[in-house]
Amino acid sequence: MKRILSAFLILVLILSVGCGKVGEQNSTEIVTFQMEPSGDRVEPFLELLENTSYEKSGRCYRISPQTVSDQYGFHLFKFDSSCAGYLLYEDVVYPLGEWFGGYGLTSFAVADLNRDGKSELYFTCSWGSGLHRSQAGYFDSANRQMILFDFSDIDHDSVLAVDENGTLSVYRAADCDVASFVEITLSAGEKTASILQEGDRITLKAV
């Protein structure tokens, strides 16, 4: 009887550790993904966007995979002509990155690099009228802030991937297949930067 009770308590402990709230994750887990355009949940998003002064031109698509949105609570949307990109998080709309003159949002990752128990949403974007450039940034779900790193890769696009050491990294896109501004597939070429936690800050270190 004692053995059965002990086994039951161990099972309960395993299940309680494995189950978490939306947005919480194992601090070592990094999930990368690219755009998957669909019309899912677009109308409710547009109703929220209507009450803002944000850019709204073009047809809007949801671009985050359903599995990512369900697990982490990050719902990404993008307009197909202006390239304006937004994050819907807990019923609040946040502009994400830069887009004027470029492709806007291009690739994404979810990780808890600062290990505070709340996931950050990392992204790459490209923009620039006359001088094309790409940058990386992230949305901190703990304090609801969007941070764009200073580093720019001029005349190139960038994509997020995990390097051989398990570090979230920025790569120069070796190939950029653009079917439309909401259907962009990037492949990783040369590594240009690493995204790291240093002290109380998340930083980008150029290679």
**Which of the 8 DSSP states describes residue 52?**
S
- What is the phi-psi region of residue 45: left when phi exceeds 0, alpha when psi lies from -120 to 50, beta otherwise? alpha
Average pLDDT, the chain: 88
- pLDDT tens by residue, 114-135: 999 999 999 999 999 889 999 9
Judge whether 93 lies within some domain: yes
Contacts of residue 140, Cβ cutoff 8 Å, sequence gap at least 6: 118, 120, 146, 147, 202
Taking 80 as the threshold, does the pLDDT of residue 10 lie above it? no
191 or 4, which is more confident:
191
Instruction: Look at residues 70, 87, 163 and name the one whose alpha carbon lies nearest to residue 125.
Output: 87
Q: Which of 9-18, 55-64, 70-79, 114-123 has the lowest mean pLDDT?
A: 9-18
**Which of the 8 DSSP states describes residue 48?**
H
**DSSP tally for the chain: helices H, then strands E:** 3, 14
- pTM for this predicted structure: 0.86
Task: Report the C-alpha gap between 40 and 66 in whole angstroms.
Answer: 9
Alpha helices in the chain (DSSP H): 2-18, 42-49, 66-72
Q: What range does the domain containing 170 cover?
A: 26-206
pLDDT band at 199 (very low <50, low <70, confident <90, very high): confident
Half-sphere exposure of 195 (CA within 13 A, CB side): 31
Judge whether 46 lies within some domain: yes
Residue 19 has a pLDDT of 39
- pLDDT tens by residue, 22-49: 444 444 699 999 999 999 999 999 999 9
Domain count, the chain: 1
- pLDDT tens by residue, 141-165: 999 999 999 999 999 999 999 999 9
- pLDDT tens by residue, 174-186: 999 999 999 999 9
Judge whether 58 lies within some domain: yes
Judge whether 103 lies within some domain: yes
CATH number, domain of 57, equals 2.40.128
Judge whether 18 lies within some domain: no
